[in-house]
Structure 1
């Protein structure tokens, strides 16, 4: 309780120092969609007030980067850790932000004990679903009325549209997804519920996701939207591929959210797309060409890529409810370690010195007037 009180005092001091007429990214798109950002433990705890000031200025939606994932919030069977979550929702309330819960069920960042009994044997379907539902009841229940929308299930499909062979699926089949959404709705009927995945721009993967989403909807299971993770590169996927995904999801009757947005400006080994954390390579100069600063050519390409993307998002503002960046600034981005470890990347709209990339901002401002 004391920690949250100190956080609120810190936030009040930081935010009261803001220039009253300083325009932020969220202000450009007030009439289009929420502009969100993923936040970490240091930010929600108030340890980096200069970063909190940027969050307040530019964003009106929050997502938790890692702090509400199973291994963080429920590390042991009989132990929950809500320190991050409590500070996170307090920050959301202070900002008046549209606050997202991410994520209740995923195949990664989940302790192995979740799937096995005392003897180390894989649980049966009923036991596993019961364990999952109890987790959802505890986490979503604690933040009922404080979190506006949940990524209920994350990344349950392969690129070809088949189901990922996770422990969840091996034991319970696709029923684990349906059970998760049912339980989330039961625990907090007012919260929006989403499915979230990367490479949803791929037609095959999207087809699998939409087949299940429509099946759930027909069965009366609440599912409000599909999160299209925006882990893009400078030249792929194409705008046409992204647009087709937006259109098909909306036509199927679901909200579209552009989640986890960033643009990787560095070369990647092989055909590594999306956000599969199992893909990881050692660092090498070949894949870390901008260790001492991004080249003017790549900076210009980044600016143009964001311009093109936001032109597309603005075109479909009637379908898109939120655009969320995956990290506040370049120094905080997970892309400094994916898919190649220990690189210097430049994928966001705020640089390592906490300065807005003014060329990009100016172009987005012009787009927002359309």
Structure 2
């Protein structure tokens, strides 16, 4: 009887340990090994939320969010097209739910994004006859949109991606409709309107390929110009859309240092690591780029080979070492999704691919590198 009782206790203990390690909430002694806890005192750790998270249908994803993340950003529902599809007609249903979710979970919240050429509604720039509107009309439309959106969430949203992706890789300005009609002033106006609508919110510029030297110089020049005019800008978001061999850690670090010298916080936004071959070198992250599906561009439909897994792990470790090295300059690191199935990389720049860019698998289990990152962060002084 004593032997049977001991075996029963050992079996129950084993099951308890197995359960503790089964869903990403691992323990070290009595202490949970969680990403947000590992980075506490260094920077916030965030994730982008999609419709299934916001409407509550992805319950496993929300549980991972609760365990490992303390900052959230809406992937799509706060962009100008979904929010105001026709002039003056706002649809705040999903944006409101995002903010409610954030307040219920006491998350740091980022609004994404107020002014962006890619998903702005066409009516923003045209009159009833389809011609470009005047600078005065576009300015008023920007003001009305920003005042309405930022004002609605005043005191709730901690910070806003005010302007997204307006500098090209060579440092020149993107020839968007905003730029064509208003010139460089559209950025200044956007930040001014956002600040007027919520003086306490932090205001950010966000862009991809920020390790590119030309883009780095262009962004620095733009931000300096804004600062000289007294325009409030509090942070720069470096989108972390990286691959197994680009960008170099060294160039990424140069941008962290250059942006930090401007006196603003640096954020690593939209972090994901594609393992798939690029149709061409350094694709950036322009949504307008689409490439026809070809089988050789989708080589890992049944899972990753061990050598690719090792490269993936090492690459994430290299970048998190960099983030920890400069944690005094970085205020937030945000993954663009929670688990691999969430990622936009499965559909861009080639639709129908299977990618593995995030830290959690499609079955919501943590990848081995998660524990390595946690241990590295805990050991970092």
TM class by smaller structure: over 0.9
2:369 match: 360
The Cα of 1:98 is off from its aligned counterpart by: 1.0
- Match 1:132 to one of 122, 142, 154: 142
1:48 match: 58
1:95-127: CA deviations, max 9, x gaps? 211100000000011111110011111001111
CA contact (8 A) 1:336 1:345 kept: yes
1:304 match: 314
Q: How many residue pairs end up in the alignment?
A: 353
Q: SS of the residue aligned with 1:178?
A: helix
Q: Distance in 1 between matches of 2:222 and 2:282?
A: 26
Q: Distance in 2 between matches of 1:206 and 1:160?
A: 9
TM-score, length-normalised on structure 2? 0.91
1:263 match: 273
User: Quick check: 269-278 or 108-117, which moved more?
Assistant: 269-278
User: Quick check: 291-300 or 270-279, which moved more?
Assistant: 270-279
2:283 match: 273
Q: Distance in 1 between matches of 2:328 and 2:60?
A: 34
The Cα of 1:203 is off from its aligned counterpart by: 1.4
TM-score, length-normalised on structure 1? 0.93
Give 1:25-174 correspondences, 5 Å limit: 25-174=35-184
CA contact (8 A) 2:33 2:374 kept: no
Q: Distance in 2 between matches of 1:59 and 1:154?
A: 24
Does residue 233 of structure 1 match 2:233? Answer: no
Larger Rg: 2
1:7 match: none
The Cα of 1:272 is off from its aligned counterpart by: 3.9
The Cα of 1:225 is off from its aligned counterpart by: 0.7
Does residue 221 of structure 1 match 2:231? Answer: yes
Q: Distance in 2 between matches of 1:218 and 1:56?
A: 41
Q: Distance in 1 between matches of 2:213 and 2:263?
A: 17
Q: Distance in 2 between matches of 1:325 and 1:98?
A: 14
The Cα of 1:18 is off from its aligned counterpart by: 12
RMSD (CA atoms): 1.4
- Match 1:191 to one of 201, 207, 214: 201
Does residue 243 of structure 1 match 2:258? Answer: no
Structure 2's unaligned 5+ residue stretches are 1-24
CA contact (8 A) 1:23 1:57 kept: no
1:223-247: CA deviations, max 9, x gaps? 0011000000011111100000000
CA contact (8 A) 2:33 2:371 kept: no
